[in-house]
Amino acid sequence: MSPCRKARVIAIDGPAGSGKTTVGSELARRLGYLFFDTGVVYRALTLAVLRLGISLADVEAIARVASELNIRVEQPNQSDGRPYTVFLDGEDVTWQLRSQEVDRAVSPVSAIQAARAALLGVQRQVVAKGKVVVVGRDVTTVVAPEADVKVFLDASPEERARRRYAEAAARGEAVTYEDVLSNVLERDRIDSGRETAPLRRAPDAIYIDSTRLSVHEVVEQLMRVICCDGQSQG
């Protein structure tokens, strides 16, 4: 661990497939911090909605489910590559949250204002404890606007789709690159255009295009920022 760090909260925003989870989890490991992907709470809600057979157009029903769910995000409890463990009403659903079904439905579910309001408090409680790397699509603007270091991690749609396709193929899912790319573009449209907490770069966020950068290169760049810029923010 680096003795020069002062930043207690590092917030990373970016579109789907930009590398937030991989970069954020490695950065947290290097710093000895908790890794928290705020998107998992919306994915858990989406999984619950799909299981209950609720229409994605039924805003009131989805908001009601959001207010009733018991979602816990904890440190990994298995050595299977997971960056965290997510419990939905006591059930470990960590890997189920990355299915294509959830991928296709999570953006419209997470765009529901009442659902976001119901889950925002949980996210802020985790961040308030400090020593956390938090990633998502509105963490620098809504969840953790007072973060010591803010980052907007980006990549081309084609590269982001390639990464998502590789992940799905590694899990044995029968998907095509074209379908994944279409999903990435649609999620970009929904996430950037939604009325509540749209995806956008905070004015004081550092912009990093990871299209041609390795995870190691991005993490090293952020470590330099945290150890230098973070020190002056004390």
Per-residue pLDDT of the chain (234 residues; tens, 9 = 90+): 444 456 899 999 998 889 998 999 999 999 988 899 998 999 999 999 999 999 999 999 999 999 999 988 888 888 888 888 899 999 999 999 989 899 899 989 988 999 999 999 888 988 988 889 999 888 999 999 999 999 999 999 999 999 989 988 888 888 899 999 998 998 888 888 777 677 888 999 999 999 999 999 999 999 988 876 544 333
- Which pair of tokens denotes residue 218? 């991005």
d(C-alpha 180, C-alpha 185), whole Å: 9
pTM, rounded to two decimals:
0.76
Quote the tokens at residue 127. 């961040």
Chain centroid to CA 41: 9
| Residue-range domain boundaries for the chain | 9-216
Q: Closest Cα partner for 84 from 39, 150, 114?
A: 39
According to DSSP, residue 204 is labeled T
Its CATH class, for the domain covering 9-216, is alpha beta
